[in-house]
Amino acid sequence: MTEHTLTVAGVAVDTRHWIGGERVASAETFTDVSPIDGSVLGEISRGTEAEAAAAVAAAKAAFPAWAATPVAERARLLHAIADGVEKRIEDLAIVETTDNGALLRSHRRGVMPRVAHNFRFFADWLLTLEHEDFETRGHTNHVSWDPAGPSVLITPWNAPLMLSTWKVAPALAAGNTVVLKPAEWTPLTASLLADIAAEAGLPAGVLNVVQGYGSEIGDALTSHPDVRRISFTGSVPTAKRITRSAADNLTPLSLELGGKSPLLVFADADLDLAVDLAVEQYDNAGQVCLAATRILVEESVAEEFTRRFAEKAAAIVQGDPRDEATDIGPNIHERQLEKIDGFVRRALDAGARAVVGGHRGEGQYYAPTLLTDVAQDSEIVQEEVFGPVLTLQTFTTEDEAVHLANDTRFGLAATLATGDRDRAARVTERLVAGTVWVNCFFVRDLQAPFGGSRHSGVGREGGTWSFDFYCDLKNTVTAPKGWKDHG
DSSP secondary structure letters along 236-261:
HHHHHHHHHHHHTTT--EEEE-----
Mean pLDDT calculated for residue range 294-305? 98
How many other CB atoms are there within 10 angstroms of residue 285's CB atom?
Answer: 30
Sort residue 451 into left (φ over 0), alpha (ψ -120 to 50) or beta: left
Q: Is 80 exceeded by the pLDDT of residue 2?
A: no
Mean pLDDT, rounded, of the chain? 96
Helix/strand/coil for 165: helix
Q: Is 80 exceeded by the pLDDT of residue 365?
A: yes
Mean pLDDT calculated for residue range 285-311? 97
Sign of CA dihedral 139, 143, 147, 152: positive
User: Catalytic residues, which ones?
Assistant: 256, 289
pLDDT tens digits along 15-52:
999 999 999 999 999 999 999 999 999 999 999 999 99
Q: Is 80 exceeded by the pLDDT of residue 487?
A: no
Mean pLDDT calculated for residue range 254-270? 97
Question: Any idea which fold 5-257+452-475 has?
Answer: Aldehyde Dehydrogenase; Chain A, domain 1 (3.40.605)
pLDDT on residue 277? 98
Q: How far apart are CA 273 and CA 435, in angstroms?
A: 19
How many other CB atoms are there within 10 angstroms of residue 184's CB atom?
Answer: 21
pLDDT tens digits along 106-139:
999 999 999 999 999 999 999 999 999 999 999 9
Q: Is 80 exceeded by the pLDDT of residue 173?
A: yes
Q: How far apart are CA 330 and CA 366, in angstroms?
A: 7
User: Which of the listed CATH numbers 3.40.309.10, 3.40.640.10, 1.20.1080.10, 3.20.20.70 matches domain 262-438?
Assistant: 3.40.309.10
Mean pLDDT calculated for residue range 259-281? 97
Q: Is 80 exceeded by the pLDDT of residue 172?
A: yes
Mean pLDDT calculated for residue range 312-325? 96
- Give helix 463-470 / helix 160-173 axis angle, nearest 10°: 70
Contacts for 17 with CB less than 8 Å, ≥ 6 apart: 23, 24, 25, 26, 45, 47, 51, 55, 208, 209, 210, 211
For β-strands 22-24 and 11-14, DSSP reports them as: unpaired
pLDDT on residue 486? 67
* Domain residue spans of the chain: 5-257+452-475, 262-438
Contacts for 69 with CB less than 8 Å, ≥ 6 apart: 175
Share of the chain above pLDDT 70, in %: 99
Burial class (CB in 10 A: 0-12, 13-18, 19+), 250: exposed
Own/partner pairs, 192-197, CB within 8 angstroms, 24+ separation? 192/11, 192/13, 192/88, 192/91, 192/92, 192/95, 193/85, 193/161, 193/164, 193/165, 193/168, 194/14, 194/18, 195/14, 196/81, 196/84, 196/85, 196/88, 197/81, 197/84
pTM for the predicted model, two decimal places: 0.95
pLDDT tens digits along 432-486:
999 999 999 999 999 999 999 999 999 999 999 999 999 999 999 999 998 887 6
pLDDT on residue 485? 76
pLDDT on residue 421? 97
